[in-house]
Structure formats: C-alpha cells, structure tokens
C-alpha cells in the first residue's frame, strides 16, 4: 500500500472532488443557507462516508458476491432518494399560494444517504479491491485507506461548500437563485441516470 499511496491519493481526489450527489447537496445548502447551515450537511457526508468505508472493508465484496440483489436494492433506493432530493431542491424558495419554507439538507439526510449512494458504494468497493492487500498487511492498508478517504471527504466537502457560498455573491436576483437550484436539481438527476448507463 505504501508504494501505492500516491495513486490512492489521486484516486481519492478524482472521485471525491468530482461532481456527485454529496458535493451537489453541500453546494446547494451553502448557496441557499450559508456556510454555517452547510456544516451539518458536510459532517453527515464525511462521517457517513468514513463509516461506509469501514463497513465495506469489514464485509468487503463477499456480501455482494453472495447476495447480488442487495446491490440492485441499494441502487434503486439511492436513485429514489436522489430524485426526491432533486425535487425538493428544484422547488426550494419558490413562492406558491401555500408558502413552503425551504430547508437545508440535514446531517441525517446526508449521513444515511451514504449507505444507499451507488457512487459511494462503487467507489469504496473499487478502492478496496485496488488498494488493499487482503493477504498481507490488511489492517495497515485498511487504516491508510480510511484516513486518506476521510481527508479527501473533508477537502471535497469544504471545496464544494465554498463554491456554493462564492456563487451566492453572484445571486443578485430571485431568477438567478431559481436557476441555480434548477441546475443543482438537474445534476442530481443526471447522477441517477449515470448509475444505470
């Protein structure tokens, strides 16, 4: 693993910082509600992702090999949840006859989402299969992988939070805010589509 530390970090950057459901939800929350309200969203992602990585290392691929349908169920649940979040984001802040008070994505939303997020599960399983030597130094490799992915999650969540907050400076009209929310919602729907391509 030590010889593969640089490839692991590059893998973590590529997967952690690329647009995905977690980053989009964090950016949306920071844009609409500010950095302080986005902290629970980010913590949910970071802690949920780290626990998912630990869980996947303990159970590894064996469970998915033995029970293939579990992957399909997780993929379906994750897709449904993302479409629900996309709907909520799309109509956040819009005034109708019955006023709906938009709310930030919460800690519990993002924490539990990690366990049905197809991207997180696929990335976690890919990293485990590529960077952990099951025969030798399994514990050491697992600890290194967990630490690297924890810091990648912290870094990516911070970057996307700041991006959302920075974009808010350009939000001079209600139309811009509405278009930003539509864009975030659309990106989440694209994520769902890409799970099945």
Q: How far apart are CA 193 and CA 95, in angstroms?
A: 29
Q: How many domains does the chain have?
A: 1
Q: What is the pLDDT of residue 30?
A: 92
pLDDT at res. 151:
95
Location of structure tokens 């811009």:
176
Domain residue limits at 40: 2-195
Tell me if residue 94 falls in helix, strand or coil: coil
Distance, CA of 20 to CA of 43 (rounded, Å):
16
Neighbours of 192 (CB within 10 A): 18
The residues near 84 (Cβ < 8 Å, ≥ 6 apart) are: none
- Among residues 42, 179, 182, 172, the alpha carbon closest in space to that of 104 is found at 42
Which is nearest to 37 in space by CA: 29, 46, 48?
29
pLDDT along the chain (197 residues), means of 10: 77 80 90 92 95 88 65 71 74 51 83 87 80 79 92 94 84 72 76 68
Q: What's the rounded Cα separation, in Å, for the pair 173 and 45?
A: 30
When computed from its CA atoms, the radius of gyration of the chain, rounded to whole angstroms, is: 18
pTM value is: 0.74
Task: Quote the CA–CA distance of 20 and 5 in Å, as a whole number.
Answer: 24
What per-residue confidence (pLDDT) applies to 99? 47
């Amino acid at each position: 693993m030590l010889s593969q530390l640089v490839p692991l970090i590059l893998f973590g950057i590529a997967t952690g910082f690329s647009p995905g459901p977690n980053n989009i939800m964090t950016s949306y929350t920071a844009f609409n509600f500010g950095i302080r309200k986005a902290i629970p969203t980010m913590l949910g992602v970071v802690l949920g992702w780290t626990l998912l990585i630990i869980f996947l290392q303990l159970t590894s691929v064996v469970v998915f090999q033995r029970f293939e349908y579990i992957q399909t169920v997780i993929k379906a649940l994750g897709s449904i949840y993302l479409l629900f979040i996309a709907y909520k984001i799309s109509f956040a802040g819009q005034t109708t006859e019955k006023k709906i008070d938009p709310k930030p994505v919460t800690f519990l939303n993002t924490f539990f989402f990690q366990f049905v997020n197809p991207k997180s599960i696929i990335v976690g399983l890919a990293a485990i299969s590529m960077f952990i030597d099951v025969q030798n130094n399994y514990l050491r490799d697992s600890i290194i992988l967990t630490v690297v992915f924890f810091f990648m999650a912290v870094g990516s969540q911070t970057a996307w939070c700041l991006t959302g907050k920075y974009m808010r400076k350009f939000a001079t009209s209600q139309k811009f805010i509405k278009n930003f929310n539509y864009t975030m919602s659309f990106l989440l729907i694209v994520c769902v589509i890409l799970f099945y391509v």
